A = this chain, B = another copy of it.
Amino acid sequence: MSEIRQDPTTKEWVIIAKERAKRPHDFVRVESRPELPDFLPSCPFCPGNEAMTVPETLSYRDEKTRGWRVRAFVNKFPALTPQGSTARNAENGFLLRLDGVGVHEVIVETPVHNRPLALMEDAGVIDVLLAYQERYDALRPMPFVKSIIIFKNHGPSAGTSLRHPHSQLVATPIVPRHIRLQHEVARSYYDDTGQCLYSDLASHELSVGERIVVETEKFVVLHPFASHRPFETWILPKARQASFCNASTEQIKELAHVLRITLLKLYRGLNNPDFNYVLDSAPIGEEDSDYYLWHLRIIPRLTKVAGFEIGSGVYINTALPEETAQFMRSIEVE
């Protein structure tokens, strides 16, 4: 029999389809990927082509060679731009619109065309996460910024066209409905219990153990109870921090290690799957709330989303998080 589970952070229901369930190794990618060179002359993100990607907003450079290790710049085709007004205009009272005011940046993670985060040293991933935080901090004070979404698309099924490893940052003048929903649920839980839902969740998962992938001093990596999709993975800090901008450098360093290990387990275990990840963080101005916890969600793109999911918002997941977490634990990465 299938089981219906509720995501405690959004109250969304998920059908865990045990009858149709696949074993974790059924999700291993069988097609081989095209071999990528470490440098591609036509790639706008490769060294030497910096003029194709301006204006630059950040770079971390080697003291000696002055070559960059990480680089950020405004997206050439930005979804949002800093000009305009956040005033809402209403067409007939209920059709609200506002200018597409905001910031859309790209963060190139390495000068090496074919080196994904999973195959870097910790130091490289630390650079990337520090760049996230530096750009987050730089954009946060802008008056029109109400929410900052940092995300990554890896592979064609995850919506990327450029293979050179990169992340994106979008600063929006509105708080997305999904983030509001997470906050409403966490606040209601806080009002009822006096506790942070996410911290209680992490404690519960650690006590149960079966959905844990990795635990370190400062972080817990798990496959959530109501995973929407196979191998969905959350990285939760143990600290109580609503916003990523409050993470200390020590936390960032440990997060880099934990993220690399987690991505490497996916890389080895599932043969370099396509995936997205996204950093959920408190809306601007709510950084010090007690009830929310920033976290990172990794969503491998192993299955297609069909009409039932689009229509109802209820996902049918054909993998058991308890089994996929066990599979991930078994993948050696050291």
CB distance from A292 to the nearest CB of B (A): 15
Stretch at the interface among A122-130, A197-205, A249-257: A197-205
Stretch at the interface among A50-58, A145-153, A325-333: A145-153
Residues A306 and B13 in contact in the complex (CB < 8 Å), given A4-B97, A4-B100, A8-B95 = no
The secondary structure that dominates the A interface is mixed
A177–B276 touching, CB < 8 Å: no
| Complex: chain B residue closest to A160, CB-CB | B306
Stretch at the interface among A37-45, A72-80, A215-223, A258-266: A72-80
CB distance from A262 to the nearest CB of B (A): 16
Most buried by B among A96, A299, A308: A308
Interface positions of A from 4 to 41, Cβ below 8 Å from B: 4-6, 8, 10-13, 15-20
Q: Pick the contact of A307: B2, B18, B20, B278 (CB < 8 A).
A: B278
Please tell me if A209 contacts chain B, counting CB pairs below 8 Å. Answer: no
CB distance from A155 to the nearest CB of B (A): 10
B83–A1 touching, CB < 8 Å: yes
Q: Can you tell how many copies of this chain the complex includes?
A: 2
A177–B313 touching, CB < 8 Å: yes
- Alpha-carbon gap, A158 to B307, bound state (A): 7
Please tell me if A179 contacts chain B, counting CB pairs below 8 Å. Answer: yes
Interface string of A74-112 (1 = CB under 8 A from B): 000111110110000001101111111000000000000
Tell me which residues across on chain B come within 8 A of A20, comparing CB atoms: 77, 79
Please tell me if A277 contacts chain B, counting CB pairs below 8 Å. Answer: yes
- Alpha-carbon gap, A94 to B152, bound state (A): 30
A152–B307 touching, CB < 8 Å: yes
